[in-house]
Amino acid sequence: MLRVLTAWWRRRGLRSRVTLTAAAGLLIAFTAADLLLFSALRSSLTKSVDDSARQAANQVVALINSQPLPDPVPVAASTVAVQVLSPTGRIIDISAGADRLVPLLSLPQAMTSARSSTAVTLSGGPYGLQPQQLRVVAATAANGSIVIAAVPYTTAHASLAVVSRALWLGTPLLFLLFTGAIWLAVGSTLRPITLLRRGAAAVSVTGVPRALPVPGARDEVRALALTLNGMLSRLALARQRQRDLVSDTAHELRSPIASIRTQLEVALDHPELQEWSETARDVHADVLRLARLAEDLLVLARLDERADADGAARGADSVADLAEVSACVVRRYAGARVPVVLEAPAPCPVRGDAAALDRVLVNLIDNALRYAKSQVMVSAQRADGASGGVAVGAGGLDGGGLDGANADGWAELAVTDDGPGIPAADLERAFGRFTRLDPARSRDSEADGGAGLGLAIVRATAQAFGGTARLEAAAPEGSPPGLRAVVRFRLAGSDASE
């Protein structure tokens, strides 16, 4: 039974629950109030009737004490009936209208009443009085006589009856009124939420930012609406960025494909114009360009996917020695245009995998080589606390790990060139996908720009392993200012949590 009830309760909506709870409270309150009112009224009325009976009795007692009692006993009001009994219980005197034969109270009853000054309710019928409720008290006189006074209870009785009827009628009405009002009030409170829900249902599949209706009242519902609107805007922005990326990608892919297609079509139409080997070499260069672009895009897509993965998945990272990978890569640049120098004094195990680190190094060194005047310097070592970055939380080499980002848990990879550098305004923009800062460089030559994904990959890789990437001027006052790319990786085995 209880289970059924609980289940039914759970299914009730917010409005029903609030209203039912309030109604139950109201019911209890009204009932208690009514009962209290009624009994307070009754005791008050009874008391005043008793008081008048006692007063009448005491008046007669005073009369007896002071002088012989006249016959009939004088009473203040004609509704009062008085009987005077002898100490033995025999009626010796009465007031007009009282019964001469039968005492209203028996002797023991009278004695009790006189002693404790309490009243008794009797029906007047059997005593020859009006058939109505009476309140009877007794008092003893100095000479042992007992005075019994009876006062009718009718008026009080009638008043109580009226009040009782009023309460029986009025309380249910009030109860229904209040319950109805609560039902409506809760309903109107919930209305903004219904509007929000309708607004949310109307947001299209493509998440076109249709602002949800924000209610005027400054309460939680308004805060919810504002927050949801903020969320919708962010989602719309992210979706727009995605669309832009896809569009840019398609565009970038078209160029090498068009080049390949035209070269082949022309060669097929006019085979006498060029040696096939030359055509093949040119097409090959474009195919490599296309392949590199496709590869870069795939890498970015995978890094994006990885960046969305939760901390647990990221925890199972592989470890690679940054110093060793750097040495490996730098060796491959032995015959480059300018010398590529490595500074990696000690092994530097970081969170990341060797292939990803290799790619980061290759991208940075390729960029540096394009612009360097006399040399490119690569350094891979542990970061000291003074080299900037986030350094909060418990110090110490073993790190508390509570808020991570302990400066001691980082390794820094820096690739520096002494070329013309990048204006301060573009230092951040350079990391954008398909952003090529120098529009004078054409896209197709290997020696020149490329599609603009190199730095985007560097940053995405760093972030996928919990690190950061930034650009800065190598020698801000110097001329040329040069450029330094700094990538920070977390040291493997550091307790830095996400």
Partner 1 sequence: MRVLVVEDERRLAAAVKRGLEASGFAVDLAHDGVTGLHMAREGSYDGVVLDIMLPGMSGYKVCSCLRAESNWVPILFLTAKDGEYDQADGLDLGADDYLTKPFSYVVLAARLRALLRRGAAPRPTVLRAGDLSLDPASRTVRRGSDPVVLTAREFSLLEYLIRHTGSVVSKSELLTHVWNEVDEIADLNVVEVYVGYLRKKIDTPFGRQAVRTVRGAGYMLAADGG
Asked whether the bond before 439 is cis by omega within 30 degrees of 0, the reply is no
Residue 282 vs 324, nearer CB to partner 1: 282
| Eight-state DSSP code of residue 412 | E
Write out the two tokens for 339: 């010398």
Can you tell me the distance from the alpha carbon of 330 to that of 55, in angstroms, rounded to the nearest whole number?
Answer: 121
CA dist., res. 211 & res. 1, Å (int): 47
Is residue 287 close enough to count as binding partner 1 by CB under 8 A? Answer: no
Task: Name residues contacting partner 1, limited to 267-286 (CB under 8 A).
Answer: 267, 269-270, 273-274, 282, 285-286
3-state secondary structure of 263: helix
Helix, strand, coil fractions of the chain, as percent rounded to 5: 55, 15, 30
Beta-bridged to residue 146, according to DSSP, are 85, 140
Which DSSP symbol is given to 408? G
Asked whether the beta carbons of 458 and 413 are under 8 A apart, the reply is: no
Separation of CA 392 from chain center:
28
Binding mask of the shown chain, residues 446 to 485, with x at each position contacting partner 1 by CB under 8 A = ----------------------------------------
**Shortest gap between Cβ of 419 and partner 1 (angstroms)?**
19
Number of residues that bind partner 1 (CB under 8 A): 28
CB of 286 to partner 1, least distance (A): 6
Binding window for partner 1 (CB under 8 A); candidates: 6-14, 183-191, 252-260, 343-351? 252-260
Instruction: Report the site for partner 1 in 402-441 (rule: CB under 8 A).
Output: 439-441
In the bound state with partner 1, the residue whose beta carbon lies nearer, of 272 and 477, is 272
Tally of CB atoms within 10 A around 101: 8
CB closer to partner 1 out of 234 and 251? 251
- 263 touching partner 1, by CB under 8 A: yes
For the stretch 457-468, what's the b/e string if a residue is b when 16 or more beta carbons lie within 10 angstroms of its beta carbon? bbbbbbebbbbb
CB 421 to partner 1: min, Å: 20
Member of 29, 32, 238, 258 binding partner 1 (CB under 8 A): 258
Q: Quick one: 132 or 274, whose CB is closer to partner 1?
A: 274
Q: Least distance to partner 1 from the beta carbon of 275, Å?
A: 12
Residue (428 or 444) nearer to partner 1, CB: 444
Applying CB under 8 A, the span of 233-241, 264-272, 293-301, 398-406 interacting with partner 1 comes to 264-272
Site for partner 1 in 7-46 (CB under 8 A): none
Instruction: Tell me whether residue 245 or residue 285 sits nearer to partner 1 (CB atom).
Output: 285
- For partner 1, the binding residue among 65, 262, 318, 497 (CB under 8 A) is 262
| Residue 266 touching partner 1 (CB under 8 A) | yes
Least CB distance to partner 1 at residue 276 (A): 13
CB of 266 to partner 1, least distance (A): 4
Report d(CA 125, CA 132) in Å as an integer: 7
Nearer to partner 1, 297 or 487 (CB): 297
Q: Which stretch binds partner 1 (CB under 8 A): 60-68, 256-264, 291-299, 424-432?
A: 256-264
How far is residue 64's CA from residue 443's CA, in Å, rounded to a whole number?
A: 133
CB atoms within 10 A of CB 290: 17
220 binds partner 1 (CB under 8 A): no
Give me the residues paired with residue 415 across strands.
378, 485
Q: How far is CA 397 from CA 317, 394, 408, 496, in A?
A: 22, 9, 6, 11
Interacting residue with partner 1 among 398, 445, 446, 495 (CB under 8 A):
445
Residue closer to partner 1, measured from CB, 66 or 442: 442
120 contacts 148 by C-beta, under 8 angstroms: no
Question: Smallest distance from the beta carbon of 490 to partner 1, in angstroms?
Answer: 40
How large is the C-alpha radius of gyration of the chain? 51
Instruction: Indicate the residue among 11 and 270 with the shorter CB distance to partner 1.
Output: 270
CB of 241 to partner 1, least distance (A): 17
Residue 402 to residue 380: CA distance in whole angstroms? 27
Which amino acid makes up residue 135? R
Q: Give 252 or 321: the residue with its C-beta nearer to partner 1.
A: 252
Distance CA 111, CA 249 (A): 113
Residue 262 CB, shortest distance to partner 1, in Å, is 5
Residue (281 or 332) nearer to partner 1, CB: 281
Tell me the C-alpha distance between 185 and 19, whole Å: 9
> If binding is defined by CB under 8 A, does position 265 make contact with partner 1?
yes
Residue of 302, 304, 259, 459 whose CA lies nearest to 367 = 459
Which whole-number Å values give the CA distances from 77 to 73, 135, 151, 152, 228, in the listed order? Answer: 11, 15, 9, 11, 81
Candidates 409, 412, 416, 384; CA nearest to 323 is 412
Residue closer to partner 1 by CB (options 160, 285) is: 285
Which of 12, 261, 337, 429: binder of partner 1 (CB under 8 A)?
261
Min dist CB 267 to partner 1, Å, is 8
Pairing type for strands 376-382 and 340-343 reads parallel
| Cα-based angle 480, 483, 484 (whole degrees, multiple of 5) | 140
Whichever of 42 and 443 has its CB closer to partner 1, that residue is 443
Write out the residues near partner 1 by the rule CB under 8 A. Answer: 247, 251-252, 254-255, 257-259, 261-263, 265-267, 269-270, 273-274, 282, 285-286, 439-445
